[in-house]
Amino acid sequence: MSPSETRFLASNECCRLATCYENRPHVVPVSYLFYKDCIYISTDYDTKKFINIKKNPCICLVVNYYLPGSNKGLVLNGEATIVENGKKYCEIYKLFYTSFKWVRDDPWEEGEAPFLEIRFNSKSSWGL
């Protein structure tokens, strides 16, 4: 990852996450954190993205900025693992709590909602 791509990921908080199940794509906008070369996304157990990832961990996500004449973006392909508890869960939750008002407004306990940890294996960017 180039320094400009790393800065771009770290300076944004919304992406579109694509999952797939039975050859049907599912894309949703989500908040994320970029931390230690991974993307972290919170979810609930009953969401389509969570159910899809349980069956197929392959994902694609897009972070982009659109302004005529100044388009920037990054596409990442990789795999998601589920973080439900433990030291890593607590570490990521603390980062989410500090970073996002919506987490502070409606906090949850360990075991109530998992995180997705996304490690990417390929990328494509433009304008960065």
Per-residue pLDDT of the chain (128 residues; tens, 9 = 90+): 899 999 999 999 999 999 998 889 999 999 999 999 999 999 999 999 999 999 999 999 999 988 888 899 999 999 999 999 999 999 999 999 999 999 999 999 888 999 999 999 999 999 88
Neighbours of 108 (CB within 10 A): 13
Q: Residue 79: name the closest of 24, 47, 35, 122 by CA.
A: 122
By CB atoms closer than 10 A (0-12, 13-18, 19+), residue 2 is exposed
Strand partners, 18: 27, 60
- Give the end-to-end CA distance of the chain in Å, rounded to a whole number: 11
